[in-house]
Amino acid sequence: MAWSFYLQISIDNDIPDTIEAMKQSPQLSWNLDDIVTLSDFSDLLDATLLKIKKYSEYSSQLAPTISEQEFRDFIAFDESVAEDMMRLDGRVFLMESVDSKDAEALSLKGKVKQLELVWHEKTQPISQWLKGKSVEGKEVLDEENAQRLFAFAGDLQYQLSYERAMADHTLSQPEELIVANKDSNGVRVVYDLYGMITTDFRFEFCDSNNKTCLIETIDELNRYTYSADPHERHEAFRSRFAEYEKNIEKLYTAYSAIVKDWVYESKVRGYSSPIAMRNAANHVSDSSIEALLSVCTDNAPLFQRFFRWKAAQMNPTSTDGEPQAIQKLRRVDLYAPLGNEKLPTLELEPTITEVLQNFAEFSPTFAEHAQKIISEHHVDFLPNPNKRSGAFCATLSPHITPYVMTNFSGRMQDKFTLAHELGHGAHGLYANKHSISAQGATLPLSETASTFAETIVFEKTLANTTDVTVKKQLLVTKILDSYASIMRQNYFTKFELAAHQASSGDFSIEVLNKLWLDNLSEQFGDSVELETMFQYEWAYIPHLFDRPFYCYAYSFGELLSMALYKRYKDEGGGFVAKIEQILATGGSEAPEDTLKKVGIDMNSADFWQGSFSIVEDWINQLEQL
Ligand SMILES: [Zn+2]
C-alpha cells in the first residue's frame, strides 16, 4: 500500500539544550486528528466493518459481462474501504511511533488488526477473480472482458493489469494455499531461527588495555567499527566474526534452506531465473537490473580511488609518534574517523527555513508541498522517550497531507534526513490527484523525490561551507553513504546471483566463503587490505536471508535519483517540469513508461552512468581540498 518508510539513523541520547527549550513549542509534535479524531475512532471502526460486509454483495454481482459502470462502482467502493482502513491503521501506527507505550494506541491496534483480517478474507476471492483465477461459484474473468473493464478503472488500470499478468506465475488456489502454509511453517521459521541464533550472540571484546569484556548486542559492538582507535576497530570486526565462525554451520544450514527454497519456487512459478522472481515483484524488467548491476560493477574503481585517498589521509600513529599516512586501507578502517573535529550543531527552526529555501530554488511547488506538511503540523520533529528511532514519512491517502517523523537532535545529518522525509511527503502531494491505491510510487521510483531532495540540500550545504575540515567531513560521510547504499548493495546482489547458481551443485560453507572473498576482492581491487575473517561476512547480512535479491533496490533508488539530479544539473530549470511529471505519476504507470515519457531509458547503461559522475565530482572535490 502507500506506506513509505525511511528508517535512517539511530538517535543521539544527549539532546542539546536548545532542543530542550524548543520542546515547549507545541507545533513540534504532530496533530493526528486530521486522520481521524480519537472520539470518532470507534464510529469509524464500526462503520468500516459494516462496509466490509458489503463485499459479499459486490462479490456475487461481479461477472465477466458486467457493465463498465457496475465495475466502476465496485472500484469506488473498494477504494473507499481502503481509505477508511488507512485512516484507522495510520492513526494507530503514528500514535505508536511516537510513544510505543501508548496504552490507547495498543488497544486500538488490536481492533484494527482484527478488522484487517476480516477485510483480507472478504477481498481475497475478488482479487483472485480479477487476476483471472478460478473462484468457487464464479465464472472466470476472461482476458477480453478483463481488459474491457480495466480500461474503466482510471489510474488503477496499470496495477490491475500488472497483477493479472503476474498471475501467470501463480499456481492454482489449492496449491497456493499449500505454499502459503508451508512457507509460514517452513522457510519463515528458518529465517526466524536465523534471527534467534544471531541475537543470542555475545561478543568478547578486548580493549587497548587488554581488558576483556562481554558486549551484549551487535549494535553496541558495531559502534567500535567507527572508533578512532585502530585496535578497537579491528577488535570489533574480529569479535563479530568470531561469533559467526563459531556458529557458521547453523547459519549455513539456514542459508542453504532459504536459497534452495527460493530457487525451487522461482522454477515452479515459471520465472526465467531466481532474481527474475524478485524483479517481477519490484515492477522492473530483468534487462534494466542487468544494466544496473553491470554499470555499478564498472564503477567499482571510483570508490577504490576514494579508499586510496582515505588511506593517504589517515595517521594511525598520531597519538604516540609522528603522524604517518598508512599505505593501504584495511577493511576494518573503512569507517574510521579522519579527525576529531565536531561538525557544527544545528538549531531546528533555521534548519527548516534553510531546507525550504533550498527546495524553493529547485521548484516553488516542491517547497510549497513541504511547507504545507510543516504548516499543518504533520511533522513530529524531536526525540522523546519511547519514540521510535530514525525517521520516516507516512503517505496515508490522497485526502490527507502526509506525515513525517524525525528525531532531530541538531546533527548535520539530521538536516539531510529532514530534507529526505519532506521529499517523500512532497512526492505524495504531487501524486495526490490519484486514487489511494495509485498514489504511492512503485518501488523503483519510491525514493526519487526523497534522495533528490536530500542531494539538493547536501550540495547547497557543501557549496556554502567554507571551513575545509567541515567540508571534508561532509564529503567523506556522503561518499561513504553512497558506497554503502550503491556499491556494497550491488556486490551483495552479485554474491546472491553466484550463491543461488551454486546451490544446484557443490554447495558448502567453503564454497560460500570463497564466493564472498572473491566478491570482496573484485569490489575493492587492490585498494583495501582484506583479512580472511571477512569470509564469514555473508552470514552477517540479514537481507540475504529474509529478502533474497532485495538489496539492489537500494542501489536502484539511489542511482535513479542521482541520475535525475545529474540531468537537472546539466539541463537546469528545463528539467524541473520533467521531474515533477515523474513525481505526479505516483504508482499509476509502469516505472519504465513513466521514465520513457521524459526521455529516460532504464535499460541504458549511459543513463545509470550519469549518477556516478555526481559521486566522481564529490571525490574530485575531496582530492582538491
Ligand atoms: Zn526514503
> What would the mean pLDDT of 55-77 be, rounded to a whole number?
94
R_g over Cα of the chain? 26
Give me the chain's average pLDDT, please.
90
CA of 539 to the centre of ligand 1 (A): 26
Say how far apart CA 400 and CA 397 lie, in whole Å.
Answer: 5
625 — pLDDT class (breaks 50, 70, 90)? confident
How far, in Å, from the CA of 33 to the mean position of ligand 1? 25
Q: Which of 71-75, 373-377, 391-395, 440-444 has the lowest mean pLDDT?
A: 440-444
Confidence of residue 340 (pLDDT cuts 50, 70, 90): low
Tell how far the Cα of 447 is from the centroid of ligand 1, in angstroms: 5
How far is ligand 1, taken at its centre, from the CA of residue 24, in Å?
Answer: 29
Residue 154 in contact with residue 221, Cβ under 8 Å? no
Q: Which three cell numbers stand for residue 436?
A: 489511494
The CA 414 to ligand 1 mean position distance, Å, reads 14
Ligand 1 centroid–CA 110 distance in Å is 28
pLDDT at 324: 55
- 224 CA from centroid of ligand 1 (Å): 27
As a whole-number percent, the residues of the chain with pLDDT over 90 amount to 72
Interval between CA 523 and ligand 1 midpoint (Å): 26
Partnered with residue 329 across adjacent β-strands are 528
C-alpha 89 – ligand 1 centre gap (Å): 21
Q: What is the pLDDT of residues 284-322, one digit of tens each?
A: 999 999 999 999 999 999 999 999 999 988 865 545 555
| C-alpha 207 – ligand 1 centre gap (Å) | 37
**Residues 134-179: tens digit of each pLDDT:** 888 899 999 999 999 999 999 999 999 999 999 889 887 788 878 8
DSSP letters spanning 134-149: --TTS----HHHHHHH
Say what the pLDDT of residue 19 is.
42
**Cα 365 to ligand 1 centroid, rounded to whole Å:** 20
Pick the range with the lowest mean pLDDT from 145-159, 171-185, 408-422, 583-597: 171-185
Strand order in the sheet with 379-380: 3-4, 392-394, 403-405, 379-380
Q: How far is the CA of 421 from the centre of ligand 1 (A)?
A: 6
The pTM assigned to this predicted structure is 0.87
CA of 373 to the centre of ligand 1 (A): 16
Question: How confident is the model over 203-228, as pLDDT tens digits?
Answer: 999 988 889 999 988 888 998 998 88
Distance 9 CA to ligand 1 centre (A): 12
Cα 446 to middle of ligand 1, angstroms: 7
* pLDDT value, residue 193: 93
d(CA 611, CA 186): 41
Tell me which residue of 444, 68, 472, 97 sits closest to 289, measured CA to CA: 444
Neighbours of 117 (CB within 10 A): 9
* Span from the CA of 555 to the centroid of ligand 1 (angstroms): 12
Q: How far is the CA of 516 from the centre of ligand 1 (A)?
A: 29
> What distance in angstroms lies between residue 558's CA and the mean position of ligand 1's atoms?
9
What does the pLDDT average to over 272-291?
Answer: 93
